[in-house]
């Protein structure tokens, strides 16, 4: 049983920075991919950033150049560094770990509890 625990959310002013953390109960190498998602009020959950098992990172167009996903294998932790925050970044942010048992299997997802980020003056 895998647990993901998020932390670091809160209220921040526009233009400032915030770092989110996602601590895993397993080594992060257990997951085929890990990522950050967010869901704003009245909107669908969207992908923010992912990292593949090979270490490749991908970002949503809306956050490219501002957000950075990183991992610390020794600490079993994934981070999301958010810079130049905008009010439209306001959302509940979720940590995701995905395991693909086989190519013909359904993926298995682990989710954090979500941490709210509010960008406002």
Question: How confident is the model over 71-118, as pLDDT tens digits?
Answer: 999 999 999 999 999 999 999 999 999 999 898 999 999 999 999 999
d(CA 36, CA 49): 5
| Whole-number pLDDT of residue 1 | 82
As given in the structure block, the two tokens for residue 87 are 């009010």
Q: Is 11 helix (H, G, I), strand (E, B) or coil?
A: strand
- The answer to whether residue 18 scores a pLDDT higher than 90 is yes
Question: How confident is the model over 25-64, as pLDDT tens digits?
Answer: 999 999 999 999 999 999 999 999 999 988 899 999 999 9
Cβ distance 32 to 100 under 8 Å? yes
d(CA 29, CA 64): 25
As given in the structure block, the two tokens for residue 43 are 């909107």
As given in the structure block, the two tokens for residue 47 are 């992908």
* Separation in Å, CA 42 to CA 3, 23, 91, 101: 27, 28, 10, 33
Cβ distance 48 to 93 under 8 Å? yes
| Whole-number pLDDT of residue 38 | 98
| Whole-number pLDDT of residue 54 | 87
For CA atoms 39, 24, 70, 30, the dihedral sign is negative
């Amino acid at each position: 049983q895998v647990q993901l625990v998020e932390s670091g959310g809160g209220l921040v002013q526009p233009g400032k920075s915030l770092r989110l953390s996602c601590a895993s109960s397993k080594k992060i190498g257990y997951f085929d991919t890990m990522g950050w998602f967010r869901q704003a009020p009245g909107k669908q959950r969207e992908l923010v950033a992912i990292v593949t098992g090979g270490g490749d990172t991908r970002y949503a167009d809306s956050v490219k150049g501002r957000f950075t996903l990183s991992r610390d294998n020794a600490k079993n932790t994934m981070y999301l560094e958010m810079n130049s925050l905008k009010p439209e970044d306001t959302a509940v942010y979720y940590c995701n770990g995905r395991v693909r048992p086989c190519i013909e299997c359904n993926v298995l997802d682990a989710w954090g509890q979500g941490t709210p980020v509010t960008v406002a003056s």
